[in-house]
Structure 1
Amino acid sequence: MIANEKSAPRLVSLFSGCGGMDKGFEQAGFQRVWANDFDKDAQAVFRLNFGEIDGRDIREVPVDEIPACDILTAGFPCQPFSNAGNRRGVYDSRGELYLECLRIIERKLPKAVLFENVKGLISSKHQSGQYLIEVIKGDLEKLGYAVNYRVVNASDYGVPQNRERLILVAFRNDLGKRFEFPPVQLNKENLTLRHILDIPEDVPNQVYWPYSPQAQSMVEKIPQGGSWKNIPYEDLSPRFKRIRDDMKRYHAPNFYRRFSLDEINGTITASAQPENCGITHPIHNRRYTIREIARIQTFPDDFKFIDDTTKNIVAMYKVIGNAVPCHLAKVIGDAIMEQAFK
């Protein structure tokens, strides 16, 4: 809870998802006055934990219906810029949603702005030929902001996950300063899975999405710290035999990664597919539970998710994987609070 809501900086949250960014900024002392997200699964989780959220397409929301704010945060859709996607960038209509952020910023002129996105945004090109991140920086500068951005690894800020993301922070010029990123955490011993997966039995949402029979047979042959490459050749499916036969052609993919208890987990993704991310428990032959991936994304144990049907369970992997880790948001939020609002 915020100690003094009347004096707390007012936050407008765009592309809020299920609330990872909002939880972190709430912990840092900001008071959210309005939030928006179009995804119905994310909306359901957000309402369960925070209350109301505007579910309209942001392109249909008049600026006059959005409250005045001191800070605006936005994790606009990242798929067009992902290294795992087709990298169409602004040629994908979702890539232009950041313009909706600018539309609102131009009218509301908050003291601070935070954008979060995948690191692929750094190398995505605008149709003008410029790098898109430089176009965004230039647009904010034209609106009167000093901009700083950096690709950060969430584990450098106390998140038990090696998750690289672009963080951009802009301060209104009249503040007379440019955002300085907080120092990184050098000792990461407490971020390994051994310290994260010790979840008490009474904590809810300890259910998981079962693997397909083929995936199940593969994970049972993979040791801690290993991947599909540890599976004997004769036990591989024809598809994986073809890849193993020509690793150079397929760029030696690290499918079915299984992190050990003494490693920091890799990026939790929205798809939760074993081919694409380390989603297999170090010891048990299954996906992480909803609560385990929530722990890796630093959601507190009292944060509620919906797991009453298989459809909802699958949706929870999506919304948690798409979220900003709460603790990363808190660390950045603390720094913004100290530098812009104290």
Structure 2
Amino acid sequence: MTGVKDAPKMVSLFSGCGGLDMGFKTAGYEIIWANDFDRDAQAVYRMNLGEIDGRDIMTVEENEIPDCDILTAGFPCQPFSNAGSRKGVHDSRGMLYKECLRIIAKKKPKVIVFENVKGLLSTKYIDGRNLVDVIIEDLADMEDIGYNVVHELINASDYGVPQNRQRVLFVGIRKDLNKEFIFPEKQDKSRLALGNILDIPADVPNQVDWPLSPQAMEMINYIPEGGSWKDVPYEHLAPRFRKIRDNMKKYHSPNFYRRFSRSEICGTMTASAQPENCGIIHPTENRRFTIREVARIQTFPDEFVFIDDNIKNITAMYKVIGNAVPVKMANVIAQAIMRQAFEGEQKQ
């Protein structure tokens, strides 16, 4: 591995609380500049990784960002969705993709990494083209430089994460380097079941949970380990769930209130931390996963802290963890990029 002084220099856009950055840092990269607009994410980032620029990226000039070897970004994709108004780049959040291009064109990093949700694969750009094709073309045809870009839909559980979390990753290597990234081989999943990660020593911080509503508590009393809301007797369902149960075909047979068992790999942790949206219910105890348990599912190390005296809002911690890139997934990708794009170029 390269020494710190010779480590590839990394600029991180839309850094969140630092999941991706932590993965890259532990793989030997030096994070020289990071940015995120979310105050809760900034607070966590500063406690664990150091300074982060909290300005709106649209207000940051290119010359304020240092030159770098690699640039990473997880720009919002909601404005490109088929749902909603479909304003595309005319939406202020949609413009954030263009901000990535603006900075890349000026900094000309050797490698770029974009991370986004699975839905990006089926979304359209403002002119009707597939957004995936737009991203690849924009990077390949960039003036004076260009990138050989590959993308893949990956499951975080293929890279050491105890969570079935699908994400799209783009990795581009500058064309003058004459390389194309190859995604690493999938890893063994035999130790990723929840039972392997929920035994947490008492002295590990942030073992607090967000209490469920009385309605949710009433329902989960009837949900066995490995079950879901479908196990709840009809008379104990909340009215809105009875409506769905009465017409499962209309509602596409949703699997709310999933209680993953200790022998299963967990489902995707979401920013909302709601039982309707993710498997946030503990396998054997009638409660949400704690902050630390969710952090472990996202593969943050136990020394990575989320709450201190300055952070009182526990729901904000579920949000920033759910929005994060799993650390181990980021680390595996970072190591592969190090081998393929940087080894041999840095002094040992």
Q: TM-score, normalised by structure 1?
A: 0.96
**What is the distance in 1 between the residues matched to 2:334 and 2:100?**
19
Match of 1:163 among 151, 165, 171: 165
Q: Distance in 1 between matches of 2:87 and 2:341?
A: 31
> Which of 88, 91, 95 is equivalent to 1:90?
88
Which residue of the partner structure matches residue 236 of structure 1?
237
Checking the alignment, whether the CA contact within 8 Å between 2:156 and 2:167 is kept in structure 1 is yes
Q: In 2, distance between residues paired with 1:312 and 1:88?
A: 33
- Cα distance in 2 for residues equivalent to 1:329 and 1:58: 23
CA drift at 1:311: 4.9
5+ residue gaps, structure 1: none
Distance 1:3 1:137, change over 3 A: closer
Give the aligned partner of residue 40 of structure 1.
39
Structure 2 equivalent of residue 118 of structure 1: 117
For 1:302, the aligned partner's letter is E
The one-character-per-residue Cα deviations of 1:106-125 (angstroms, maximum 9, x if unpaired) are 00000000000001111100
Once the 2 structures are TM-superposed, how far is the Cα of residue 127 of structure 1 from its aligned partner?
A: 1.3
Provide the residue aligned with 1:277 in structure 2: 278
1:63/1:104 contact within 8 Å kept: yes
Residues 20/310 of structure 1: CA separation in 2 closer, same or farther (3 Å cut): closer
Query: How big is the shift at 1:309?
Result: 8.4
**Structure-2 separation of matches of 1:234 and 1:151:** 41
RMSD: 1.7
Q: Percent identity?
A: 65
Contact kept? 1:204, 1:291, Cα under 8 Å: yes
Deviations 1:149-192 (A, max 9, x none): 0110000111000000000000000110111000012x312000
Cα deviation, 1:197-227, whole Å, max 9, x if unaligned, reads 1111100000000001101111111111111
- Contact kept? 1:147, 1:168, Cα under 8 Å: yes
Question: Is the CA contact (8 Å cut-off) linking 1:81 and 1:118 kept in structure 2?
Answer: no
Cα distance in 2 for partners of 1:212, 1:200 equals: 27
**Residue 95 of structure 1, CA deviation:** 2.5
- The ranges of structure 1 where at least 4 consecutive aligned residues each deviate by more than 6 angstroms after the TM superposition are none
1:9 and 2:11 are equivalent in the alignment: no
1:81-109: per-residue Cα shift (whole Å, max 9, x none)?
A: 679x7484726431331111100000000
For residues 21 and 44 of structure 1, the distance between their equivalents in structure 2, rounded to whole angstroms, comes to 16
Which residue type is aligned with residue 39 of structure 1?
D
With over 3 angstroms needed to count, the CA separation of the structure-2 counterparts of 1:80 and 1:257, relative to structure 1, is farther
* Aligned-partner Cα distance in 2 for 1:206–1:89: 41
* Structure 2: distance between partners of 1:202 and 1:130: 52
Task: Tell me by how many angstroms 1:46 deviates.
Answer: 0.3
Counterpart-to-counterpart distance in 2, 1:308 and 1:277: 28
The change in CA–CA distance for 1:243 and 1:200 in structure 2 (over 3 A counts) is: same
Equivalent residue letter for 2:3 = N
> What's the CA shift string for 1:19-64, capped at 9, x where partnerless?
0000000011100000000000000000001111000000000000
How many residue pairs are counted as aligned between the two chains?
339
- Listed as ranges, the matches of 1:1-342 within 5 Å are 4-80=3-79, 86=84, 88=86, 90=88, 92-143=91-142, 144-185=146-187, 187-306=188-307, 311-342=312-343
C-alpha distance after superposition, 1:220-258 (max 9, x if no partner): 111111110000112112221111111001111111111
Q: 1:88 to 1:197 in 2, by over 3 A?
A: farther
Q: In structure 2, what is the Cα distance between the partners aligned to 1:82 and 1:259? A: 30
